[in-house]
Chains A and B, each alone.
Chain A
Amino acid sequence: MNNRRKKLLVSFLSVMMSVSVLSACAGNNNDGVEPSKEPNQTEAAQTPEATDGGGEQGVFPIAEKVTLEMVTCKHPNNGPFEEMDFFKQYEEKTNVQIEWTDIEFAQCEEQRNLILASGELPDAFYGTLALTGNDVINYGGQGMLVPLEQYITKETMPNLTALIEQNPKYKAMLTAPDGHIYSLPSIRELMLWLSPDMMYLNKEWLDKLELAVPTTTDELRTVLEAFKTKDPNGNGKNDEIPFSFLWDFANYNVMGIGSLFGTFGRADSANHIFVEDGKVVFSAKEPEYKEAIQYYHSYFKDGLFDKESLAQDRNQLVGKGSGTEQRLGGFFSWNAFSVVGVDNDPKYVLVPALKGPNGDQVWRKSLSNNQGVNPFAFSMTAANEHPELTMQWIDLSYATDTSIEAGWGPIGTTLEDKDGTLTLKEAPAGLTTDQYVFKTAPVEAPYAILENTYGTRLAMADKDKVKIDGIKENYLPYMTSETFPGVLFTAEESQKIKTLDTDINSYVNQTSAKWLLQGGVDGEWDKYLADLQKMKVDELISIYQTAYDRFKSAQ
């Protein structure tokens, strides 16, 4: 009896305690002004927050300096964050001082995990490299990161709120599966991302052999045969590689032949997941995939595709493309010079979406990174004692000009204003423009540059313009295969996808490589489909479907 009573008392007490802890948390989150534990440092600083209607620039600069600790991971080209002109100006503007823990890129994963696991949290994580999507979802669910949707209001975050109101899709991209928003985005809305993969052929060789840029697969075949047999580099040796590409998962979407599969009606991607009319499709188990494999096997058989394509790594491909004596006829890449170097870049020409033997003409529309949106660019932790101020601080980064400065460096330093358009200035001697920008601004940071800013407020970089024009002209009209967009998965979903995907992908990858190289897809296709079933490909599809439906309904 006595014992039981004791137990009751204990459980009662523990409930009481958790309630009081919870209410403390809730109070903390709701008004953002918590009773300060260290009054000496924080009291004065919080006065401006407490006064309401502090939107716009009105809050800043705050009366008394506040220091926030932030963790970030540096891009390899970044210098120390505290020395960046961008942040110096930011501090002047706001009177908020940031104490940076800027981790070197190569140490990022280990150091970030130590910080999270040891529980010694900073006030916020800054930049797209600081936290991964998994981190945000996991630690958000555990309460280490603070839900931010309560701060996304006209009063606290006028810039971001306006942005989301104009583009409701961004809200869906930011919302974690549990309905909360744990991170703010980095947005660089550019058409570039729609087709990371571009197909190139050696124009010099085409001209020499008096051939036109191919428009159909038949013409491509003729061109590659000529590259192989007619010694276009004129050195008397048969050392030409007509066409080469990459087959590994990490590089496939940029340097693989996924879009070339579109000549049979449906493109392919590294994880083979596409969305057609709201339904998720696994491309590598559809008949179009089989036809494409069968057809391109003949290219391998006749030596038109480089046999090493299926096993080589990026450096090997770059090795084939570089050098003064040209050996490479064609390839897939983000742009030509990243494979063949700046000197050879002009010698290569874009190949448009080809028409297949059955008249299909399809190019892949890559939506997996949401056209340049990274949802994990800024997160606030539960250790932050100035949540409201932090959110006001970061909201400034979503104003158009500050966004541009975060990505391209401060106006007047790296950028100059020419009739209302911002253009990159010449870098000081000894630095490339890129290096100069990365030294003065974080670049991989939370900000938003919308598509209509390019060409109006911000001059578009030449290489971007070249690529976008190329996409518009050659690929955009044929982009009917849409990849799976960048959707946030629950921890459980991503775990399951990881398990299923690893098996399925390596099986598809190896089997298809074998078929391309040795043929035999006809005889083995049925067994292949049965094996995929055994590996639960349907479950994989349904996980993606659930996540996609949730994504659609959040918009």
Chain B
Amino acid sequence: MFKRSLADIWFDRVNMLLIVTGLAIIVYPLYFVVLASVTDPGAVQMTLFWPEKFSLEGYKKILDSDNLWVGYKNSFVYAILGTIINLCLTLPAAYALSRKDMKGRSTVMLFITFTMFFSGGLIPTYLTVKELGLLDSVWAMVIPNAVGAWNLIIARTFFQSTIPDELLEAAKIDGCSDAKFFWKMVLPLSQALIAIMVLFYGVAHWNSYFNALIYLRDQELFPLQLVLRSILIENQISNDMMTDMSSMGDQLRAAELIKYGMIIIAALPLLILYPFLQNYFVKGVMIGSIKG
């Protein structure tokens, strides 16, 4: 091997320093949340790198709380059911729109693109959902926005660029129908896309709270994010002079106690999901249908 010059060595060192600093800036807040979740709330202020007063009281409270588990369960249901509906509608639509032999596809595309820039607004949407009888039901969480225009466009572009016309022709010659082609050829070749769609839609469902905020009233249906929001917002009432003050101190402490633990518990499923999907990204890109 050739000898590395002094400049090279220093370049590497500076590089390393910058990367480590950048990493620290990103990782520390995350680390702090983990740290704060196992610290006594009174000592969080003084905590820097290790727990000042170790306490698992917060997690104990979380595990005991019914509301949070109901929210957790609901979030799972909405994310899984919602994502399945999303995929069932987005993928076939995107594939159809990617086919050049579909008549009027540019008009359809125009309508779909239109919704990316203009919408009916909050109240008309609310009234529509209400008139459809979806209010206060699971369906209000999964049916409105069942197809994301942006995701549809991504999927269409993906099909257009990765499924060659020749493949369709070859399949047709072998007597394959359109539906069978979509099922047997397009989907298996689009694992990367499906993984991305699952991630996009899944994360959106998991993190969404606004739809729940306006469409749901029954606490039994609240997703996790709304339960979290309630815990944080209900703290603010302590400033209200009309409130009875005696339980305020306890309530405040309890909320502080579970706040950080909740962030971790809420983020956990996505942290677990991500590496699995990442695996697909790599595979999907590597396996092509036409070699060379």
A315 in the interface, Cβ–Cβ < 8 Å?
A: yes
B126 touching A118 by the CB < 8 A rule? yes
* CB within 8 Å for A106 and B226 given contacts A117-B123, A251-B239, A320-B45: yes
* CB within 8 Å for A337 and B242 given contacts A106-B226, A106-B233: no
* Chain A residues within 8 Å of B234, by CB: 76, 105-106
A341 in the interface, Cβ–Cβ < 8 Å?
A: yes
A318 in the interface, Cβ–Cβ < 8 Å?
A: yes
How far apart are A470's CB and chain B's nearest CB, in angstroms?
14
B253 touching A111 by the CB < 8 A rule? no
B214 in the interface, Cβ–Cβ < 8 Å?
A: yes
| Chain B contacts with A in 208-233, Cβ cutoff 8 A | 213-214, 217, 219, 222, 226, 229-230, 233
B252 touching A315 by the CB < 8 A rule? yes
B214 touching A322 by the CB < 8 A rule? no
* Chain B residues within 8 Å of A341, by CB: 249, 253
Question: How many Å lie between the Cα of A206 and that of B238 in the bound state?
Answer: 30
- A62-77 vs B, CB cutoff 8 Å, 1 = contact: the mask equals 0000000000000111
| Chain A contacts with B in 351-388, Cβ cutoff 8 A | 369, 372, 374
A117-B123, A315-B252, A338-B248 given; 9 more Cβ-contact pairs under 8 Å: A105-B230, A106-B226, A114-B126, A250-B239, A314-B238, A314-B252, A316-B45, A319-B44, A434-B246
Question: How many Å lie between the Cα of A251 and that of B241 in the bound state?
Answer: 11
| Chain B contacts with A in 9-55, Cβ cutoff 8 A | 40-45
* Chain B residues within 8 Å of A118, by CB: 123, 126-127, 130
Chain A positions near chain B (C-beta within 8 angstroms): 75-77, 101, 103-107, 110-111, 114, 117-118, 128, 186, 188, 193, 196, 250-251, 254, 314-316, 318-320, 322-323, 334-335, 337-339, 341-342, 369, 372, 374, 432, 434-435, 437, 443-444, 461, 463
B89 in the interface, Cβ–Cβ < 8 Å?
A: no
B247 in the interface, Cβ–Cβ < 8 Å?
A: yes
A75 touching B237 by the CB < 8 A rule? yes
Question: Could you list 7 A-B pairs, sorted by A, with CB under 8 Å?
Answer: A77-B247, A101-B217, A107-B217, A322-B41, A334-B245, A372-B241, A435-B247
A338 touching B249 by the CB < 8 A rule? yes
How far apart are A430's CB and chain B's nearest CB, in angstroms?
13
Question: How many Å lie between the Cα of A400 and that of B272 in the bound state?
Answer: 59
* CB within 8 Å for A76 and B237 given contacts A104-B217, A106-B226, A118-B123: yes
Question: How many Å lie between the Cα of A364 and that of B267 in the bound state?
Answer: 47
With most chain B CB atoms within 10 A of its CB, the pick from A114, A250, A335 is A114
Question: How many Å lie between the Cα of A254 and that of B242 in the bound state?
Answer: 13
* Chain A residues within 8 Å of B239, by CB: 250-251, 254, 314
Question: How many Å lie between the Cα of A329 and that of B244 in the bound state?
Answer: 26
B241 touching A369 by the CB < 8 A rule? yes
Main secondary structure of the interface of B (DSSP, over half): helix
How far apart are B125's CB and chain A's nearest CB, in angstroms?
10
* CB within 8 Å for A323 and B217 given contacts A75-B237, A76-B234, A374-B242: no
B247 touching A107 by the CB < 8 A rule? no
With most chain A CB atoms within 10 A of its CB, the pick from B45, B222, B226 is B45
* Chain A residues within 8 Å of B243, by CB: 75
How far apart are A113's CB and chain B's nearest CB, in angstroms?
9
B42 touching A319 by the CB < 8 A rule? yes
Question: How many Å lie between the Cα of A250 and that of B237 in the bound state?
Answer: 11
Query: How many residues belonging to B are interface residues under a CB distance threshold of 8 Å?
Result: 37
A193 touching B226 by the CB < 8 A rule? no
A196 touching B247 by the CB < 8 A rule? no
How far apart are A310's CB and chain B's nearest CB, in angstroms?
16
B233 touching A105 by the CB < 8 A rule? yes
B123 touching A106 by the CB < 8 A rule? no
**Other-chain contact of A444, B122, B130, B242 (Cβ < 8 Å):** B242
The 9 closest A-B pairs by CB, nearest first: A106-B230, A76-B234, A322-B42, A323-B42, A106-B233, A319-B45, A434-B247, A338-B249, A117-B123
How far apart are B63's CB and chain A's nearest CB, in angstroms?
18
**Other-chain contact of A106, B130, B229, B247, B256 (Cβ < 8 Å):** B229
* CB within 8 Å for A322 and B253 given contacts A103-B217, A105-B233, A106-B234: yes
How far apart are A63's CB and chain B's nearest CB, in angstroms?
33
Question: How many Å lie between the Cα of A101 and that of B233 in the bound state?
Answer: 20
* CB within 8 Å for A188 and B247 given contacts A105-B237, A106-B230, A322-B253: no
Question: How many Å lie between the Cα of A421 and that of B24 in the bound state?
Answer: 64
* Chain B residues within 8 Å of A117, by CB: 123
A408 to B, closest residue via Cβ: B244
A434 touching B244 by the CB < 8 A rule? yes
* Chain B residues within 8 Å of A106, by CB: 226, 229-230, 233-234
Question: How many Å lie between the Cα of A316 and that of B44 in the bound state?
Answer: 9
Question: How many Å lie between the Cα of A318 and that of B123 in the bound state?
Answer: 41
* Chain B residues within 8 Å of A77, by CB: 247
With most chain A CB atoms within 10 A of its CB, the pick from B41, B123, B222, B249 is B249
* Chain A residues within 8 Å of B242, by CB: 128, 186, 188, 369, 372, 374, 444
With most chain A CB atoms within 10 A of its CB, the pick from B45, B234, B237, B241 is B241
B212 to A, closest residue via Cβ: A107
B237 touching A463 by the CB < 8 A rule? no
B214 touching A104 by the CB < 8 A rule? no
Question: How many Å lie between the Cα of A322 and that of B257 in the bound state?
Answer: 13
How far apart are A258's CB and chain B's nearest CB, in angstroms?
15
* Chain B residues within 8 Å of A314, by CB: 238-239, 252
* CB within 8 Å for A323 and B214 given contacts A105-B237, A334-B245, A432-B247: no
